[in-house]
Amino acid sequence: MTGAANDTPQEVPRISLTFDDGPHPIWTPRVLGALQRAETRATFFVVAPLARRFPRLISEILRYGHGVEFHCTEHVRHTEQSREEVEADVRDGLRELRRQGVCPRFWRPPWGVLAPFTAEITCAFGLELALWTEGTHDWRGDPASEMLERVGPELRPGSIVLMHDGIGPGALRSGCGETVALVEGLVERIRFLGCEPGPLDATLTVGTSPTSEAFSEQERPVGT
């Protein structure tokens, strides 16, 4: 987990918007629409089999200037897999994304859970780990207003906000409508703070080591 120095201190401070667990045929287009209305971009950490199933959505994400990065092939915690299984997961997932013209730079492991070997695998595949600093817990189905109230006060220059445009394992909601509704208010709050929302940048991956906030994604029940 590295970051480069910012050579242009005059730039407006950035806050990254990120989405996991897609692409989803219903919700990813709606998230893209919300981002377009808010005149901002984001980074999508995609699940490789879904990218294979919905290649047009990957093309749409890229066409609108968003980033596509690697989440996983199988949405399983690294602590529940062997090193060989995780290596195969990354190898297969990157191969699929490269078939679609995507060469990921960042990797966000499922639930942000790292095994002792995760960092070594990251380096072996030429990736950078990218977790997050603020989690919306949108997988619970909370109203957009509650998510904004919870996350808004925590936002700082360099924050990385985690949301989901798909229904991942353990989600307690049946759709991502509240996430779509959250985008506009979240972008307004970020700009009110004097920051600009946007996709993940290498200069913002500093400080995304595993924290209690990252690990809180483990609250998701398993197998639902």
Residues of the chain with pLDDT under 50: 1-9, 206-216, 218, 221-224
8-state DSSP, 70: E
How many domains does the chain divide into?
1
Residue 5 included in any domain: no
Residue 8 included in any domain: no
Residue 211 included in any domain: yes
* Cβ–Cβ under 8 Å, residues 110 and 85: no
pLDDT tens per residue, range 143-179 = 999 999 999 999 999 999 999 999 999 999 999 999 9
Asked if 164 is an active-site residue, the reply is: yes
In the numeric block, the tokens 């690294």 are attached to 78
Residue 113 included in any domain: yes
Residue 194 included in any domain: yes
Report the pLDDT value the prediction gives residue 221, as an integer from 0 to 100: 46
Report the pLDDT value the prediction gives residue 78, as an integer from 0 to 100: 98
8-state DSSP, 43: E
Number of Cβ within a 10 Å radius of residue 12: 11
pLDDT tens per residue, range 61-70 = 999 999 999 9
Asked if 21 is an active-site residue, the reply is: no
Residue 7 included in any domain: no
CATH at residue 208 = 3.20.20.370
List the domain range (segments joined by +) for residue 172: 14-219
Given the residues 20, 21, 165, 201, the one annotated as active site: 20
Residue 9 included in any domain: no
* Cβ–Cβ under 8 Å, residues 128 and 160: no
Residue 52 included in any domain: yes
The runs of H, that is alpha helices, within the chain are 27-37, 48-53, 55-63, 83-99, 118-124, 144-151, 177-192, 212-215
Given the residues 24, 164, 165, 201, the one annotated as active site: 164
Helix (H/G/I), strand (E/B), else coil: 163: strand
